Structure 1
Amino acid sequence: MSAPESGRDAPGTRRRAVRTVTVVASCLAVLAVAVVAGVHVLGSEPTVTLLANWTGRDARYFRQAVIEPFERENHIRVDYQGSSAESQVLSADVETGTPPDVVVLTGPGELADYAGRQRLEPLEGLIRREDFSESWATPLNGHVYWFPLKADLKSIVWYPARTRPGTLREVARRPGQWCLGMGSGATSGWPGTDWIEDILLQQYGPGTYESWARGRLPWQSRQVKRAWTTWGRLVGAGGPDDLVRRALKTEYQKASELVTTDPPQCTLEHQASFIRDLGPWKKADGRYTPSARLIPGATADGAWEVSGDLVALLRATPQAEKLIRHLASAGAQRAWSAKESGFSVHAGAQPSAGDGGAEWHLSLARTLLDPDAVHCFDASDAMPPQVRDAFAQATIDFLADPGERHLDELLKNLDTLSSPESLTWLSSVCDHGT
């Protein structure tokens, strides 16, 4: 057989090569189409960004109970960011022009500040006003800019099941028996603000409390000053170094660990309802009593300090508006409340014994929804951010040095910070029952 001519293929060889190239080219074309289609599908999936403060277990529960059902039903992906420093994260994002679509913050005062700077979108048409009372979805300049997704009760004191209720008053008079942790990273000091707010509410009632929380009652008033000094005596401010040092160095979520030591290093904790879900109080089979029963000079009847995680809209995209409607629905709020990570105050999400929740959880939920009770939003959270932050720092300073002159200086400084007319104060902090 003669060899093929140099530089040329035999006819059969040339046909096989052509067929091979054609097959490979066809496969590459199909693969390219598939890749482009896949990229198109992934790239076109609507996305909504959400910033909140839940991390760890709470973030997992939130995603399972609330976010994943929304994603499945609407075919919208939720890009969730959880941060314990969400106020700082949000501020930075807003300043750089890259805010999240939806945010969940604990402070209506902070949200009012953003609304005043025209950073928030009104929620008319997205939520039903009748689903939430004004103390939770407070109108501002004729609009509603936020609503609660999760709520907690604050006017309560936790104690171990082994403690006889009849001895609580006696125990409460011993400063060393109070579990107190003031640490909370960038927001350290807020457990102290909770104490002072609740004392003022229980000693003087909702009217005085609301006037102060709205910037109308001076910090140097006798009522507010009395609340500070009452707290100081209860927890031993300026007392034994080891007691004050323990409070200043302990993170708030670790304060209850002292209940389970052998022997216990403390017995009572003035803390919001969420603390019952942490390990130490579960181990101690924690019970609660209204704080009014243990606060000296308490005269209020059925007044409760409350807090909430509030949803607001920063970018009104179609997918963000759908998420707002979902988060405001009774079904979504009930689903997360069933996880016992928090409570809903949605009018249509009231729990019942048939829901299968723990009795302590159902009891707290009923108190939050009681139409005959007075619910007052956490005062510091309702204040302008700069006042809130100074208040928290002042509680740390006072705990170390509760002297009258020092306290007068702290309160005078807070009055100065509260005086500028440019600050935005809320029109309502308390509801007033039926």
Structure 2
Amino acid sequence: MRILMAILLLSASLAGCAVSTAPARVIVLGPWTGPQEERFEQVLALFEDTRRIDVEYIGTTAPDQVLRADVQKGTPPHVAVLPSPGDLAAYVGDGYVTPLGGVVAARSDEYPRRWADLEELASGERYAVVVKADLKSMVWHPADVPVTPPTTKAELLALTAAEVAAGRTPWCLRVAAQTNAGWPGTDWVEDVVLHEAGPDVYRRWAAAEQPWNEGPVRQAWRTWGELIGGGAVRGGLRATLLTNYDDPSQPMFDTPRGCLLDHQASYVTGVYPAGEADFFPFPSLGAPEPAAEVSADLAALFRDTPEARALMDFLASTEGQRAWPAAGGAYSVNRLVGPEVYGSDVERRVAAELVSEGRLCFDASDLMPAPLRTAFHRAVLRYLDDPDDLQAVLDTLEGVRRQVSAEKAGLLDLPC
């Protein structure tokens, strides 16, 4: 009996050791699927190999909806990556996010102040890490088709009209999506507001302080209509409602060419055929000063463990920030990630703009509270279905803005 008890105790002891030495696991929820997920998995693999910590990544096109359900059940992931600072600010306000002051090493010399402001969500305390960033004020075209970059509204309209007059289609546009359908159109409107009315109006508009149904915002919708109306969009405006924004077909590179120009963010360098696209900056449409629109994917700590802290610190480090750009299709705002990491001159131009001293304004709809952002998405769909209904569309948006402004819930005012 004593021998049997000794064997059982030894087995229990060995079992306990086995449990204690099993690798800890970090669960990460993020917005990337498909090729982007594969590249982010490469970043996580580097962390796993060097830190000996397992990571399980869950990719979804609806990260906020999935995260909200998990939080309400009391089972959030350790780390969640959200593309909307407005959504993340709401989780911070509800007390679900761990501040990073004692988690991530201070690297203020590595990041421009504007990106630190974003990570602090205008609170003065850091809550997020910019995993990757994108430049949005861009117009793409086939690299083998010479295009003189327009610098004014008149020149952009003239380029569009010249293509139509020649029997060609100037603009690619696709706004369908599994979730948040319409967002490529919101990017269009945002760029027009920024480049027509200027960054100060843009900032007030993003913070729900600027009316939608009159003045510069209404004018921006009308300008967008001038650019994409009259046969300027491949298939017509209603066809854009039926084509998914991430459709693998690339009409800009077809033979014969389906369209010449594509208003898309820099993430498409990971989608377009390698080396076949070039871009010019979105031109001034009369704004008093130059600026560019940007966006970011923000990682935050929802379940605080030593392993999750280690991952957050890795994502903020120069090592972690270099990993995805080296794999392709992503851009870092860490100053120590040098241009040699990027695989093409086009990518290096994008990366330089993101850490430049120029005026950068964060994606307006991403800053807006969820009800206003959702209404914006739906407004794009309504407008493309019936451009003559614009005033009613904007009146609806103005009603949502007034309600959000009165409640003062989820409003995020960031420097521009």
Q: Shorter chain as normaliser: what TM range?
A: 0.7 to 0.9
Q: Are 2:33 and 1:59 equivalent residues in the alignment?
A: no
Counterpart pick for 2:83 among 96, 106, 109: 106
Q: Aligned residues, how many?
A: 395
How far does residue 256 in structure 1 lie from its aligned partner after superposition? Answer: 6.3
Structure 2 counterpart of 1:340, one-letter code: G
Q: Secondary structure at the match of 1:113?
A: helix
What's the counterpart of residue 364 of structure 2?
Answer: 379
Structure-2-length-normalised TM-score? 0.86
Q: Secondary structure at the match of 2:179?
A: helix
Q: Residues 287 and 45 of structure 1: is their aligned pair in 2 closer, same or farther, counting only changes over 3 Å?
A: same
* Alpha-carbon contact 1:109-1:424 (below 8 Å) kept: yes
Q: Secondary structure at the match of 1:148?
A: strand
What's the counterpart of residue 288 of structure 1?
Answer: 279
What's the counterpart of residue 4 of structure 1?
Answer: none
Structure-1-length-normalised TM-score? 0.83
In 1, Cα distance between equivalents of 2:107 and 2:237: 45
How far does residue 230 in structure 1 lie from its aligned partner after superposition? Answer: 1.0
In 2, Cα distance between equivalents of 1:340 and 1:240: 30
Q: Secondary structure at the match of 1:299?
A: coil
Q: Secondary structure at the match of 2:208?
A: coil
How far does residue 415 in structure 1 lie from its aligned partner after superposition? Answer: 2.4
Q: Residues 228 and 238 of structure 1: is their aligned pair in 2 closer, same or farther, counting only changes over 3 Å?
A: farther
* Alpha-carbon contact 2:28-2:58 (below 8 Å) kept: yes
Q: Secondary structure at the match of 2:293?
A: strand
Percent identity between matched residues is: 35
What's the counterpart of residue 46 of structure 1?
Answer: 24
What's the counterpart of residue 389 of structure 1?
Answer: 374
Unaligned runs of at least 5 residues, structure 2: 151-155
Equivalent positions of 1:332-343 (< 5 A) are 332-343=320-331
In 1, Cα distance between equivalents of 2:268 and 2:283: 19
In 2, Cα distance between equivalents of 1:323 and 1:292: 39
What's the counterpart of residue 119 of structure 1?
Answer: 96
Structure 2 counterpart of 1:368, one-letter code: L
How far does residue 239 in structure 1 lie from its aligned partner after superposition? Answer: 9.2
Q: Are 2:375 and 1:398 equivalent residues in the alignment?
A: no
Equivalent positions of 1:138-157 (< 5 A) are 138-157=120-139
Q: Residues 305-336 of structure 1, C-alpha deviation per residue, up to 9 Å, x if partnerless?
A: 00111011112211111111111111110121
Equivalent positions of 1:25-424 (< 5 A) are 36=15, 40=19, 44-64=22-42, 66-127=43-104, 128=106, 130=108, 131-132=110-111, 133-134=113-114, 135-166=117-148, 169=156, 170-173=158-161, 176-236=169-229, 242-254=235-247, 257-279=250-272, 281-282=273-274, 285-292=276-283, 297-349=285-337, 351-352=338-339, 354-355=340-341, 357-371=343-357, 373-403=358-388, 404-424=390-410
In 2, Cα distance between equivalents of 1:141 and 1:101: 22
In 1, Cα distance between equivalents of 2:61 and 2:40: 15
Q: Residues 35-61 of structure 1, C-alpha deviation per residue, up to 9 Å, x if partnerless?
A: 94795267x421211111122322222
Q: Alignment RMSD, CA only?
A: 2.8
- 4+ runs of 1 displaced by more than 6 Å? 31-35, 237-241
How far does residue 406 in structure 1 lie from its aligned partner after superposition? Answer: 2.3
In 1, Cα distance between equivalents of 2:54 and 2:257: 47
* Alpha-carbon contact 2:83-2:296 (below 8 Å) kept: yes
How far does residue 159 in structure 1 lie from its aligned partner after superposition? Answer: 0.6
Q: Residues 300 and 311 of structure 1: is their aligned pair in 2 closer, same or farther, counting only changes over 3 Å?
A: farther
* Alpha-carbon contact 2:139-2:263 (below 8 Å) kept: yes
Q: Residues 176-211 of structure 1, C-alpha deviation per residue, up to 9 Å, x if partnerless?
A: 421000011111100011000011111122111111
With 217-226 and 197-206 compared, the bigger mean Cα shift is at: 217-226
Structure 1 counterpart of 2:30, one-letter code: A
* Alpha-carbon contact 1:386-1:417 (below 8 Å) kept: no
